[in-house]
Amino acid sequence: MPSPIPRFVVALLPLLACLPLMAQDTDAQKKFAGTWEAKFKDKVICTIRVKAGNPISGETAACSINVDENGDLKEPDSTDRPDEPSPMLNPKIQGDTLTFEEKDGDDVLKFEMKVVGDGQAQLKILNSPVPIKPIHFARK
């Protein structure tokens, strides 16, 4: 008659099965963790800070993104920068992409940040009232 499997082994199986997923989450978070800056003519126009954790979190700070009619970046207005950082809402990582939302007055803006190289990313504003081309960010 085979010996029964000890209960603690049965209890550990679900935890052991989750370890690879936790490692994937940690690796994915490492791709995004840190401070990212977008520049226009060597001036920082937006900073995104991402903190690894459970759940991942972050904020945007000093963002002054102005575009022309073609969706290309243009010189920001110096008075257009908010004083307080805005927290990321509903941040989620899927592969090389971090999606999050941000409150802008009564509106909620939706963002998609995609890692495109070592320390390089592109940010898309998904529901902007005007088309905006992806904005290049570099990790500091």
- List the CATH number of the domain containing 17: 2.40.128
Q: Which residue has the higher pLDDT, 15 or 86?
A: 86
Q: What's the structural domain count of the chain?
A: 1
pLDDT digits (tens, 9 = 90+) for 70-110: 888 888 766 555 568 999 999 999 989 999 999 888 889 99
**Within a domain: residue 1?**
no
**Within a domain: residue 37?**
yes
Looking at every residue in the chain, the average pLDDT score rounds to: 81
- Give burial (CB, 10 Å; 0-12/13-18/19+) of 38: buried
Return the pLDDT at 4.
Answer: 53
Return the pLDDT at 9.
Answer: 39
**Within a domain: residue 102?**
yes
**Within a domain: residue 16?**
yes
Q: Which of 94, 98, 99, 105 is nearest to 129 (CA)?
A: 105
| Residue 18 CA: distances (Å) to CA of 13, 31, 63, 106 | 9, 20, 38, 39
**Within a domain: residue 2?**
no
d(CA 37, CA 137): 5
The whole domain housing 51 covers: 7-139
**Within a domain: residue 13?**
yes
List, in sequence order, every beta strand (DSSP E) within 1-119: 34-40, 43-51, 57-61, 66-67, 73-74, 86-87, 89-94, 97-104, 107-117
**Within a domain: residue 30?**
yes
